[in-house]
Amino acid sequence: MDSTVCLPAEARLAEPDGMYLRRAIALADRARARGNRPFGALIVDAGGQVIAEACNANGESGDCTAHAELSAIRLASPLHDRQALAGATLYSSAEPCVMCAGAIFWSAIGRVVYGIDAVRLRAFRGERLDQKDAELSCRDVFDTASHAIECIGPALIAEASASHQGAWKS
């Protein structure tokens, strides 16, 4: 079932979207400064309140699932029911991976805004097997959802890309 609402990359962001996406990018920079891969995410409820934010913590924790999006969902979901999360937006510094897209689906979050897309990110990651991802767009996951998930991105590409300059081992 195609339930994803896809907006083109050149779609203009509303001012709040740009502000929250820049906050996710700042979280990515914080993750990198702490020795993790540079990813950040936050969840904003329908009223504009930040209900969770997280940095990638793979390096610090040794947990391969400690992605920023998944960690933010883990913080938000015990405190907010699926109906509330359906009205929320997840902002991510980069396109959510397959695992994180699945978590977004299961949480019922209804909207995603992301920075750098997976294709551009792969150029930074290089050819090392331990840095490769499942080459599947988050939109492919969202397209299988039984509920609509609005997906906006890539956006603020240059700003989101800056976090990855020199961050990946070749």
Active site residues: 69
What residues pair up with 113 in beta bridges, in sequence order? 91, 152
CA-CA-CA-CA dihedral for 11, 164, 106, 155, to nearest 10:
-10
Q: What is the DSSP string of 106-135?
A: HHT--EEEEEE-HHHHHHHHTT-GGG----
- Residue pair 85/108 in contact (Cβ under 8 Å)? The answer is yes
β-pairing, 40-44 vs 89-94, is antiparallel
